[in-house]
Structure 1
Amino acid sequence: MTKSLRDLPSPGGLPFLGNIHQLSVQRLHRIIETWEAQLGSEFTFELGSRRVFVTSDPHLAQHALRERPESFRKLSSMTAVIDEMGFNGVFSAEGQRWWPQREMVTRALARKGLPPFFPTLHTITERLFRRWDEVARNGQTTDVVQDLTRFTVDVISTLSFGQDINTLEQTGDPIQKHLSVIFPMVTLRANLPFAYWRYIKLPQDRQLERSIAAVEEFVHRMIDEAKDELVARPDGPPTNLLQAMLMAAEEPGSGISDDIVYANVVTLLIAGEDTTAHTLAWAMYCMAERPELRQHMQNAAAHTLGEANIAPDYKTTEGLSLFESTAFEAMRFKPTVPLVFLEANEDVTLGDTHLPAGTPVFLALRASMKDENHFGDADDFDPYRWTAERHHRMRTHNGRAFMQFGAGPRVCPGRHLAILEIRMVLSMLARNFTFEFADDAQGIEESFSFTMAPHTLPLRLHRLR
């Protein structure tokens, strides 16, 4: 029997406001997870006049993600906010606007393009090693969230745009500082019932405008340089994604405009920064909590890397699966993507609940990853559950309940690059350093903006050799 949204449980709200007064963007995932624990795997809450459907059922989440972009889309309020900010690229585009962008981005970030990129990735990882080596030798602490964010910005800008901006060795105010302002404001504005910023500017809105202007200037400078390079060698093939987009924009009927080029440059810079950097940060957090795990990873790194500080070639990274598995297990405990925001494009039934067109749909992903029905011994931090060894332990393992890279046609196109970055950084860390929390670990909070990150992660590093 089909249910309506009003048949589902919901937390108590206020007239007209609904549950807005109970929500905080930085704690949104925790609030929804608390409601899920109280109300069950399917419930609703109200954002003003809008009733939101929430599910933590991985089967329903998979179904909704597979049915994009026909039956479901990204939350329209989020798309509208991103469009207003001027970077509605492959991440947020819908329908026919999405397909040509997706094809180009997927091709640029495909696995087969990673071996030729490896020497550059090695160079950028070496910079991170030098940064941490200096911290360790001087007996200092470092906020690794900031270090890792700079690292991932350098990687994505070099691979996708042919620009090594080297924020890792910059002082002052690198572009990464401005990038980090934008996505938190997207999430905040998308979940507000009233677009107040069109009428009054708060300090956070003025800071956003400054950051968007700085990013716009930076990106247009990259685009102009790429255009100059194409003019200088008119018969040569594109050497990166930016050049490919610019060449496609010149073809009649390509569907790629100058605005789309700009939007995708910004999108990849921000998305490539946040997700991988925060995954690495949570992996280091989980390692800092577990000395036995750190020792095991040190042994594995020494065995695979030998005397090298960093994986010397692409083939070596194929033997670093433990470091990928550790990051996957960290994502199960500390998901970088705890929530996915969708919307029904049409009247649709999800499970046995009827969703009218326009219904916001929030997918809460952590509950199923900590559920014994999907992952046996769910409270045990065990990287080996992600390897073939799990079969010998007779553990339940439902990989479909793990959606940190998405699912369906819009699965993350950068996942292969992210996994390679994870293998490189965590093996470099384990080969060269031991570390511990610089402050009380209880004070390290989960902070949600667009992804979930430690609000800060100060670590004290020590050289192993």
Structure 2
Amino acid sequence: MRNSSNTSEALRALRQVADLPCPPGLPLLGNLHQIITRKQHLTLERWAADLGTPYRLRICGKPIIVWTDAELCQAISRERPHRYRRFAPLETVLEEMGCNGLFSVEGVAWEPQRKLVMQALSIPNIKSFYPTLHDITQRLHARWQRAAARGTTVEMTEDFKRYTVDITSALAFGEDPRTLDAEGSVIQEPLALILPTVMSRTNTPFPYWRYLKLPRDRRVEQALTELHRYVRQLMQRARERMQNEPTEHPRHFLEAMLRLRDTPGSGLSDDQVAANVFTLLLAGEDTTANSLSWTLLYATQAPLQQRLADTARAALGTHTVCPDYAGLKALDLFEAVCTEASRFRPVAAVSTFEPLEDVCLQNVQIPAGTTMFFLSRPSMQDERHFAEPQTFDVERWLRERDAHSGAHDPRAYLQFGAGPRVCPGRHLANVQMRLALSMLFANFDVELMIDPAQIKETSAFTMMPDTVPVRLTERRRPTSSLNA
């Protein structure tokens, strides 16, 4: 009887989802009108500060639980894909857009695709690819050199997107689109419409676009048609090269995917190959470019800019771009600046999960299929995880672990996710950050042409700056430079 009584008391002590605090909303709609905006992450963070976490939202009667606990996010990430999955509507929306690739695919389809992406983005593969990385960074330098000579203002997010798309395409698909050499329309323009649409459609309770096409939906359809044509042409050219120039091993990710697709019993279709090409284009363009752009808000400030310039010049010598892969090690400062900038401005501001079974998390009973949002920034701005969290301090990422004064918990830094589905492109992203920023500060003085406080954070699936305009002035370099 005593055990039964204890069990009953324990059950009564558990909270239900309906017991969690909830911000006020509207009848029927709940909080829908407050989160389907491009400031969604800021609204969620404000409610977390006001209500504490976990709290809940109501979207047309459906609850969403919001957390800020980094340790819990890490634990859930480790239990994917067998116990948790991403927000289910994300997969549905991406499926109908033809881009349900590795990022969103669930179940048995995930593992073979993950293996190929991990191989394509592995450290040995990126190391062997370094000469191409160097050449594309050299083209970025030439583009900025022209802008400096003209005295024009450069919108850095756009240039960084050209840079990352050229790199992703060359590495993963065997073709360099050379968007850095182009002016005007490039593949980034239709790409820019996709992620904001994914965000709005996954948060919309009724799929109106299947029945009524608004002007923005027609623009998205046109962009998707253009992008899918581009992807299919990539695939066709890759097949022709495989036939005309056969090799024992695939030369890049796209060839590996096509070989797997043609293996009897693979269960992989051309549509799935195309979806993964699409996914890599989106991921390669968006996240790294936005991280680089946010970094400039801090890196352009004195005296940090001078320190970056001195470090880059010492590492690069007479070269415009870091000449070899080994030389990247001398550029730890640049990765530290990017990491610290991301602690303040996380590109992945919100992560979404659903349990595949009923679970109990932090004394809350959560039914299977309940949507859960995890906010990245609050844990990275928590003094329990990082000492003096409101201070921009690159040294916290450069000191040895035992030399830290105060809290420093890298597990609270969730920019690349965690668990089995941690971002496979994190090493490539770090290499691009070191390369692009060291080239920038070694060769140019960078003046931000707007008060940083006026730059707005925008939710477009990833969190991006609305503008990062800069003016570039060439630095004097050694006259003996061979510009290797």
> Is residue 460 from structure 1 mapped to residue 471 from structure 2 by the alignment?
yes
Is this contact kept in 2: 1:58–1:400, CA < 8 A? yes
The residue type paired with residue 354 of structure 1 is Q
> Is residue 189 from structure 1 mapped to residue 211 from structure 2 by the alignment?
no
What are the equivalent positions in structure 2 for 1:151-170 lying under 5 Å apart?
151-170=163-182
Is this contact kept in 2: 1:79–1:88, CA < 8 A? yes
Q: 246, 259, 264: which is aligned to 2:276?
A: 264
Cα distance in 2 between the residues matched to 1:170 and 1:157? 15
Cα distance in 2 between the residues matched to 1:277 and 1:50? 35
Q: 91, 97, 103: which is aligned to 1:79?
A: 91
> Is residue 200 from structure 1 mapped to residue 212 from structure 2 by the alignment?
yes
> Is residue 112 from structure 1 mapped to residue 112 from structure 2 by the alignment?
no
Aligned partner of 1:303 in structure 2 is: 314
Aligned partner of 1:180 in structure 2 is: 192
Bigger mean CA offset, 392-401 vs 26-35: 392-401
Q: 113, 131, 135: which is aligned to 2:143?
A: 131
The residue type paired with residue 254 of structure 1 is S
Give how far 1:235 is off: 4.8
Aligned partner of 2:238 in structure 1 is: 226
Is this contact kept in 2: 1:101–1:256, CA < 8 A? no
Aligned partner of 1:418 in structure 2 is: 429
**Structure 1 residues 235, 279: CA separation in 2 closer, same or farther (over 3 Å shift)?**
closer
Aligned partner of 1:364 in structure 2 is: 375
What are the equivalent positions in structure 2 for 1:44-59 lying under 5 Å apart?
44-59=56-71
Q: 386, 399, 410: which is aligned to 2:410?
A: 399
Q: 387, 408, 426: which is aligned to 2:419?
A: 408
What are the equivalent positions in structure 2 for 1:203-282 lying under 5 Å apart?
203-282=215-294
Give how far 1:390 is off: 6.0
Q: Secondary structure at the match of 1:291?
A: coil
Q: 417, 439, 444: which is aligned to 2:455?
A: 444
What are the equivalent positions in structure 2 for 1:6-85 lying under 5 Å apart?
6-85=18-97
Give how far 1:24 is off: 3.5
The residue type paired with residue 298 of structure 1 is A
Aligned partner of 2:6 in structure 1 is: none
TM-score (norm 1): 0.98
Alignment identity in percent?
A: 43
Cα distance in 1 between the residues matched to 2:54 and 2:106? 26
The residue type paired with residue 219 of structure 1 is V
> Is residue 316 from structure 1 mapped to residue 324 from structure 2 by the alignment?
no
Cα distance in 2 between the residues matched to 1:125 and 1:234? 30
Cα distance in 2 between the residues matched to 1:354 and 1:106? 36
Cα distance in 2 between the residues matched to 1:261 and 1:24? 31
The residue type paired with residue 364 of structure 1 is L
Cα distance in 1 between the residues matched to 2:465 and 2:247? 47
Is this contact kept in 1: 2:36–2:204, CA < 8 A? no
Give how far 1:190 is off: 0.2
Cα distance in 1 between the residues matched to 2:468 and 2:38? 16
Q: Secondary structure at the match of 2:129?
A: helix
Is this contact kept in 1: 2:36–2:203, CA < 8 A? no
Is this contact kept in 2: 1:156–1:272, CA < 8 A? yes
The residue type paired with residue 231 of structure 2 is V
Q: Deviations over 1:76-101 (max 9, x none)?
A: 11110000101111010001011110
The residue type paired with residue 167 of structure 2 is V
Is this contact kept in 2: 1:25–1:187, CA < 8 A? no
Q: Secondary structure at the match of 2:58?
A: strand
Cα distance in 2 between the residues matched to 1:321 and 1:98? 33
Is this contact kept in 1: 2:34–2:40, CA < 8 A? no
Is this contact kept in 2: 1:108–1:240, CA < 8 A? yes
Bigger mean CA offset, 308-317 vs 346-355: 346-355
Is this contact kept in 1: 2:357–2:369, CA < 8 A? yes
Cα distance in 2 between the residues matched to 1:356 and 1:70? 16
Q: Give the gaps of 5 or more residues in structure 2.
A: 1-12, 477-484
Q: Deviations over 1:188-221 (max 9, x none)?
A: 0000111111111111101100110000110100
Is this contact kept in 1: 2:70–2:411, CA < 8 A? yes
Q: Deviations over 1:361-394 (max 9, x none)?
A: 1010100101111000111111111123464341
Is this contact kept in 2: 1:71–1:348, CA < 8 A? no
Aligned partner of 1:141 in structure 2 is: 153
Aligned partner of 2:393 in structure 1 is: 382
Rg larger in 1 or in 2? 2
Q: Secondary structure at the match of 2:299?
A: helix
Cα distance in 2 between the residues matched to 1:385 and 1:337? 21
Aligned partner of 2:482 in structure 1 is: none
Bigger mean CA offset, 436-445 vs 141-150: 436-445
CA RMSD of aligned residues (A): 1.2
Q: Deviations over 1:299-337 (max 9, x none)?
A: 111111112111011110111111001100000011011
Q: Deviations over 1:283-309 (max 9, x none)?
A: 112213x21111111111111111211
Is this contact kept in 2: 1:341–1:363, CA < 8 A? yes
Cα distance in 2 between the residues matched to 1:392 and 1:89? 42
Give how far 1:15 is off: 2.0
Q: Deviations over 1:82-128 (max 9, x none)?
A: 00101111010001011110011111101111111001001110111
Q: Give the gaps of 5 or more residues in structure 1.
A: none
Cα distance in 2 between the residues matched to 1:71 and 1:38? 31
Cα distance in 2 between the residues matched to 1:219 and 1:23? 33
Cα distance in 1 between the residues matched to 2:101 and 2:384? 37
Is this contact kept in 2: 1:342–1:361, CA < 8 A? yes
Q: 435, 438, 449: which is aligned to 2:446?
A: 435
The residue type paired with residue 462 of structure 1 is T
Give how far 1:395 is off: 2.5
Give how far 1:355 is off: 1.1
Q: 359, 373, 385: which is aligned to 2:384?
A: 373
